[in-house]
């Protein structure tokens, strides 16, 4: 490793010499030092070692680095430190038992940090600047009169602090406007629209509902995150039922499909957490009594609109025959075949079809394979990525499958299916998820942003 002193706030050019299909390719990028007081820049190969230990390079014999020098700050690779693509013309990624809702339009938004805090997302924070640099950056970004979306995406890619997550998600999804002066009116209008619809729909009782749809939702909701006391709470379950019914009724082309209930849980959890002022202990013991009806109505409405925003981008995953999922499975198979032909050939020889395991990975966005905490961290990055849930998710699925290449190549059909149906990812720590996202980003840069270098003639 080398040290360069006396270089305050400079661009450091980093080079990677690669051979792809025996064709030498020179890649360069210049991460900009965020801290203007930095006077020492350390170059090392720690990142290369991490990728080597994960088996990334070993899985790609056609993609072998002859040397790699990376500016490394002790974090997982991010869009600021990863290869940005192999083309000089590339564009960098940015960085009822149903209770009718109360009239949320008559309840003024709370002032504390939550999905309700639309006037000033930092109103509940201490007037002193946060000591942690990451918190300080979010504090400054969210305190602007008009949010810099590109900056917020860049900050969010590496994870959002818990106390800023709810409002950041809503801004990244486009549910809340970037201009602070418009947020109160927008939030009030959207909550009223949802609340009015729910009151009208459920006013005549369950007998007036679509019985088949309502029954399916009532069957699925208790099965949603069965290990979480939060989602076994009756108040929360009633919220889930109404949200899912409302979405299905308003989207008849797709209707309700099993798996959509799973996609709702991160929103509900994050927005409830904000109402509890980030007290995860309260949520873990399902002590939600402190949340009043108006706050719960706000969580419900915000979760409905956030789910709608998410599904708008992947709706063909849930229309008849689910063509979106079918296309993504084909893309996943092509990607894995290109990166690790040996693994793909072994799966084929054992009679394993990608649809047999990848359908659920895509349909439920890995909600069944990872802990909720891991999913929430993953969604920080998905929301910061262009088409994160539709496109970047495929690279995450590929990175996860490739991570276990050696084990899978030693298994037969039955062992492979058992392994992939219950992969050893439920105990992953945040660092494991971030490494997975890093590897997925590398795949995206190599195979999406610069496809001409990777497709054979």
For residue range 298-339, what is the model confidence (pLDDT) as tens digits?
999 999 999 999 999 999 999 888 999 999 999 999 999 999
Query: Which class in CATH covers the domain with range 323-453?
Result: mainly alpha
Counting Cα atoms < 13 Å in the Cβ hemisphere of 375 gives 22
Residue 277: its pLDDT value, please? 74
Q: 443: which 2 tokens?
A: 């795949």
Q: Where are the domains of the chain?
A: 2-71, 104-312, 323-453
pLDDT digits (tens, 9 = 90+) for 335-356: 999 999 999 999 999 999 999 9
The predicted pLDDT at position 276 comes to 84
pLDDT, residue 226, reads 87
Q: How much is the pTM?
A: 0.74
Using CA of residue 60, residue 397, residue 447, residue 17, what is the dihedral sign? Answer: negative
Contact between 391 and 448 under an 8 Å Cβ cutoff? The reply is: yes
Q: Which residues of the chain have pLDDT under 50?
A: 1-77, 81-128, 453-457
438-444-448 Cα angle (round to 5): 170
């Amino acid at each position: 490793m080398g040290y360069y002193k006396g270089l305050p706030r400079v661009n450091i050019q980093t080079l990677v010499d690669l051979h792809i299909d025996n064709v030498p390719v020179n890649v360069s990028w210049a991460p900009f030092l965020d801290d203007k007081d930095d006077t020492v820049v350390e170059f090392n190969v720690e990142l290369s070692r991490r990728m080597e230990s994960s088996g990334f390079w070993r899985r790609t014999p056609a993609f072998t680095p002859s040397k790699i020098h990376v500016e490394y700050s002790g974090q997982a690779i991010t869009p600021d430190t990863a290869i940005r693509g192999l083309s000089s013309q590339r564009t960098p990624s940015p960085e009822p038992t149903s209770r009718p809702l109360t009239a949320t339009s008559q309840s003024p938004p709370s002032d504390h940090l939550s999905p309700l805090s639309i006037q000033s997302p930092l109103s509940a924070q201490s007037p002193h600047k946060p000591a942690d640099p990451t918190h300080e950056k979010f504090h400054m970004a969210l305190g602007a009169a008009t949010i810099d979306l590109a900056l917020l995406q860049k900050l969010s890619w590496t994870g959002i602090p818990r106390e800023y997550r709810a409002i950041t998600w809503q801004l990244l999804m486009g549910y809340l406007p970037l201009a602070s002066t418009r947020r109160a009116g927008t939030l009030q209008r959207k909550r009223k629209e949802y609340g009015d619809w729910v009151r009208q729909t459920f006013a005549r009782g369950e007998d007036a509902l679509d019985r088949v749809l309502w029954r399916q939702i009532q069957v699925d909701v208790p099965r949603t995150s069965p290990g979480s006391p939060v989602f076994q709470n009756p108040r929360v379950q009633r919220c889930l039922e109404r949200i899912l019914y409302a979405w299905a009724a308003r989207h008849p082309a797709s209707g309700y499909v099993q798996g959509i209930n799973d996609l709702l849980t991160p929103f509900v959890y994050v927005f409830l957490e904000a109402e509890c002022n980030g007290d995860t202990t309260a949520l873990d013991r399902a002590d939600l009594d402190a949340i009043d009806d108006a706050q719960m109505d706000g969580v419900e409405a915000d979760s409905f609109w956030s789910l709608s925003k998410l599904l708008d981008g992947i709706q063909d995953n849930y229309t008849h025959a689910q063509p979106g999922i079918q296309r993504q499975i084909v893309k996943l198979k092509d990607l894995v075949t290109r990166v690790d032909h040996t693994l793909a050939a072994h799966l084929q020889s054992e009679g394993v079809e990608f649809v047999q395991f990848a359908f659920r990975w895509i349909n439920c966005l890995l909600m069944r394979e990872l802990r909720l905490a891991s999913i929430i961290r993953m969604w920080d990055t998905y929301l910061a990525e262009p088409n994160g849930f539709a496109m970047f998710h495929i690279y995450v699925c590929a990175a996860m499958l490739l991570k276990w290449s050696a084990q899978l190549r030693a298994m037969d059909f039955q062992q492979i299916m058992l392994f992939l149906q219950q992969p050893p990812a439920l105990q992953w720590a945040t660092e494991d998820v971030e490494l997975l996202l890093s590897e997925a980003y590398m795949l995206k840069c190599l195979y999406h942003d610069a496809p001409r270098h990777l497709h054979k003639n």
